[in-house]
Amino acid sequence: MKWNVVLAFAVFVVAAISPMNPAATWTSPNSEQTTGAPAAYAGPDQLVGARRAAGDAAAQASFLVQGTQKLVDGTEQLKDGSGELVDGIQAARDGADQLSKGMTELQNGTGALADGATRLADSVGGAVDQVVGFDAVRGQVLSAIDSTLRSTKNSRDPDVMDLRDQLEGLRGQVEIAEIPQDMHKQLDELKNGSRELANQLSVPGYAYHDGIYSATNGARDLANGLNEMNNKVGDATGGIDELVDGVSKIDDMANTTQDRIGDVQRAMPAPAPVTNGDGADTDGPTSALAPLAAMLVSALAVVAGVALALAAYAVRGRNRWLTLGVGTAFITAAGLILVGILGTNLSVLALAVSGLALALVTLASAGFTWIVRSSFGRTGGTAVAGIFGLLQMAIVGWVWSTAATGNVGLPWRTISSALPMHWSTAAISSAGNQGSAIAMWSGLVMSAFLALLGAAAVAMTTRAVGGSLGGDYEEFYDDYSDDYPEDDADDYVDDYGYDAENQVKDQRESPSPKGNHSWRSRLGRQ
Q: State how far the Cα of 492 lies from the Cα of 497, in Å rounded to an integer.
A: 8
Q: Which residues pair with 288 in a beta bridge?
A: 344
| Distant-in-sequence, close-in-space partners of 499: CB < 8 Å, separation ≥ 6 | 493
pLDDT by residue (tens digit) across 363-395? 999 999 999 988 888 888 899 999 999 999 999
262 and 303 fall within a common domain: no
Residues 391 and 318 in one domain: yes
Closest among 21, 17, 8, 22 to 365, alpha carbons compared: 8
Does any domain span residue 506? no
User: Is residue 203 included in any domain, yes or no?
Assistant: yes
Of the candidates 229, 246, 254, the residue with the CA atom closest to the CA atom of residue 74:
246
231-256 average pLDDT score: 76
Mean pLDDT across 263-271: 58
Shared-domain flag, residues 69 and 123: yes
Angle at 503 between CA 497 and CA 506, to 5 degrees: 135
Beta-carbon neighbour count of residue 274 at 10 Å? 23
Question: Does the structure show a pLDDT above 50 at 502?
Answer: no
Q: What is the pLDDT of residues 275-320, one digit of tens each?
A: 554 444 455 566 788 888 999 999 999 999 999 999 988 887 778 8
Q: Are residues 332 and 184 in the same domain?
A: no
Among 305, 522, 342, 329, CA closest to 419: 305
Last residue of a domain, one of 443, 467, 491: 467
Q: Chain-centre distance of CA 394, in angstroms?
A: 34
DSSP for residue 39: P
CA dist 299 and 21 (Å) reads 18
In a domain, 37, yes or no: no
How many domains, the chain? 2
The count of other CB atoms within 10 Å of the CB of residue 328 is: 22
327 is in which domain, residue-wise? Answer: 288-467
Of the residues 413, 435, 467, which one is the last residue of a structural domain?
Answer: 467
Do the domain assignments include residue 341? yes
Give the residue among 376, 223, 284, 288 at the shortest CA–CA distance from 26. Answer: 288
Query: Residue 257: pLDDT above 80?
Result: no
Question: Angle formed by the axes of helices 437-465 and 319-342, to 10°?
Answer: 160
Q: Do residue 244 and residue 368 come from a single domain?
A: no
Q: Is the residue at 355 inside a domain?
A: yes
Judge if 390 and 266 occupy the same domain.
Answer: no
Are 398 and 249 within one domain?
no
Torsion of CA 457, 330, 358, 341, to 10 degrees: -170
Report yes or no on 86 lying in a domain. Answer: yes
Q: In sequence order, what are the residues at sequence separation of 6 or more whose Cβ sits closer than 8 angstroms to the Cβ of residue 454?
A: 309, 363, 364, 366, 367, 368, 369, 370, 371
Same domain, 260 and 123: yes
- Are the CB atoms for 358 and 304 separated by under 8 Å? no
pLDDT given at position 496: 46
| In a shared domain, residues 199 and 311 | no
Whether 318 maps to a domain, the answer reads yes
Taking 3-state DSSP, the helix, strand and coil percentages for the chain, each rounded to the nearest 5, stand at 80, 0, 15
Same domain for 342 and 441:
yes
